[in-house]
Amino acid sequence: MKKIILTSLLFSFVSIADNWKTEIEEWRTNRVNSLTRPHGWLSLIGMEWFHNGSNSIGSAPDNAIVLPHGPQNIGTFVLKDNTITFTAVEGVNIMANKEKVNRSITVKMDTSGEPTVFTIDSFQFYVIERGKPALRIKDSEAKTLKEFNGIEYFKLSEKFKVNAEFIPYDPVKKIEIINVLGLLSKDKSYGKLSFDIDGKNYQLDTIDAGDEYYILFADRTSGRTSYGPGRFLYVPKPKDGSTTTTIDFNKAYNPPCAFNDYSTCPLPPPQNRISAFIEAGEMKYNNH
């Protein structure tokens, strides 16, 4: 009887481990698929600041925004009184949110939640607001996309799949986050996650992300074997009636800035820079 019970328990543990490995492999596959979409982060080739007045765009060198290929003159963005309009050059087949632009249109920025997304040739571009408006430009023919050679990972390790206690903040804490442009924002943190690695306790402030917590963190591998500024991670919220969850650092991933020079990534706040060596998740990309 004991032998049967032990065999059953062993089979159960093996099944759990196999399921976890399968889960991580699926997560990695989805991650790469997202990066390598025609207009995913690997296709980002530029971020051009708007100036007041006219901002023409096209491949001709006399445009305010010069594209590496495609139609010589596509149209003009006009910034006036914090409002942006776009007018296409006659005969140019440019789409805005999948509809052909036949007249001057008002352009929505990414702060609206539903920005106006333009597509023409192999390009996709839309307006973002980072202290001032800029045009984010993606190209499905980008060198960074075409020459993508995969992601390197630390060895899969159960050591870095840890139980964590959610400790709420009352009142809600506002954490200051600086992005790579030096712009400061304040995000609400409803609590922190407390966990142990190798007998030492660590804590990370969280940002609410619906059914999950969003975490920006850096550790002792940052700048050595993982991306220098830090990495990102999503953690499921505790189930109803519970205060515990699982942090799986094997799902720690690099921000877009690890793959191109035109992203505006947030940086981990000082309190989320921990002294542990988190040798799990994504490593440096191309030694970036």
For the chain, the domains span: 19-36+150-272, 43-146
Name the burial class of residue 38, with classes exposed (0-12), middle (13-18) and buried (19+) by CB atoms within 10 angstroms of its CB. middle
pLDDT at 44 over 70: yes
Over residues 53-111, the pLDDT tens digits come to 999 999 999 999 999 999 999 999 999 998 999 999 999 999 999 999 999 999 999 98
Over residues 184-231, the pLDDT tens digits come to 999 999 999 999 999 999 999 999 999 999 999 999 999 999 999 999
Over residues 117-144, the pLDDT tens digits come to 999 999 999 999 999 999 999 999 999 9
pLDDT at 156 over 60: yes
Decide which of 1.10.3720.10, 3.40.50.970, 2.60.200.20, 2.40.128.120 is the CATH code for 43-146.
Answer: 2.60.200.20
